[in-house]
Amino acid sequence: MPINLETPKKHRTLVDQAHQVAMNMLRPISRKYDRAEHAYPVELDMLAAMIDGLAESGRTEGAGAAGVRRDDDPPGGDGVRNGTNLASVLSIAEMCWGDTGLLLSMPRQGLGNSAIASVADEAQAARFAGVWAAMAITEPGVGSDSAGIRTTARLDGDDYVIDGEKIYVTAGERCDAVVVWATLDASLGRAAIKSFVVPKGTPGMTVERLERKLGIRASDTATLRFDGCRVPKENLLGSPEVDVKQGFAGAMATFDNTRPLVAAMAVGCATAALDLTRDLLAEAGVSVDYDRPAQNQSAAAAKLLQLEADLESARLLMMQAAWLADNRRPNSLEASMAKGKAGRVGSDVTLSCVELCSSVGYSEVELLEKWARDSKILDIFEGTQQIQQLIVARRLLGLSSAELK
């Protein structure tokens, strides 16, 4: 099946619209909400309503958080589909060219929404339509190794009773519901981990605190506690059966979707830094000649060429992972490759741009220092770069998690 890693014609209008929103709505308030940490960006309400309207009208794809659905019918014959996943990563990259923290603060566009779209059955997808969902995975002492989750879910009659603590929950205070990862039976390991939709205000779920952070300050990041928190058994996403042979595959379907989205965030943030740095260097008299070898140009020009090449490789991996999902092909390896590469490149590009622009980059005169701070989380959440490298190695070598740790 052929793959073309250029922006499809059908998505160009959406990408252009996202860029206009980033430039005219997000950039102007970027510094304001970086300084006013934990203040809700009220300007996003109108933007979220516009996106909801586009999604409901069917006028565009990728306006909402999309999911990787393996049970959908594949494209007929030898046709190629450029669908919602590719549209989502392209539009998210443009929005993060504006501001990553504000993108993460968008109502109904949370990572929990992607989890619902990826794992929920049809009835659940309809029931939770329009819900702003955060995703709660990380626990104290359990970070990148999601298989070590200790939060429990115990079936009691028609309810599951959830007990545990979750940290670094993006949009954990502002959201309508939280997708909580918990184990049905710790003795069964990864296979028993399921996700549950817990509506805001459910007795037994409390927001313990909000974190003060290095970057993405516009986004609230919460610590949540679950103490005898009861949710209907219908709120378990997907199948309640524990399939030891399938293992972690059900839960990993969520990551197959969200990791390319995080890669898109990193690509967008790094692109913003590189675009501005290129302009600032040109103003300072540093020109880049694309017809000459890097070693025959100034050090600044050579560095810029290297950063551009690294960023382009991350962008292509991001698009490949999304394209595979749209065409109902396995993308777990490619999702990890995209996320790992883009996360590292994002941090490298933004920090290098700060260095190249010297005092202008380090001060608040421009947004370069903010983008350097924002980009770091994109190399951490949804699985650190090191975890992605481990997943890629296991896939390529055909080894299990027990065989390669």
Q: What residues act catalytically?
A: 382
From 378, 318, 398, select the one nearest 7 (Cα to Cα). Answer: 318
Contacts 24+ apart (CB under 8 A), 386-395: 386/144, 387/144, 387/145, 388/259, 388/336, 388/337, 388/339, 388/340, 388/343, 389/340, 391/332, 391/333, 391/336, 392/333, 392/336, 392/337, 392/340, 395/332, 395/333, 395/336
Cα–Cα distance measured from residue 348 to residue 41, given in angstroms and rounded to the nearest whole number = 28
Exposure string for 350-371, b = 16+ CB within 10 A, e = fewer: bbbbbebbeebbeeeebbbbbb
Q: Please choose, from the candidates 179, 182, 168, 230, the residue with its C-alpha nearest in 3D space to the C-alpha of residue 204.
A: 230
Tokens of 368: 């370069």
Q: Rounded to the nearest 10 degrees, what angle do helices 332-356 and 249-283 cross at?
A: 20
Indicate the DSSP class of residue 366: S
Alpha carbon distance 390, 118 (integer Å): 23
Burial 388-400 (b: 16+ CB within 10 A, else e): bbbbbebeeeeee
Helix (H, G, I), strand (E, B) or coil at 16: helix
Using the Cα atoms of residue 369, residue 373, residue 376 and residue 382 in order, give the sign of their dihedral. negative
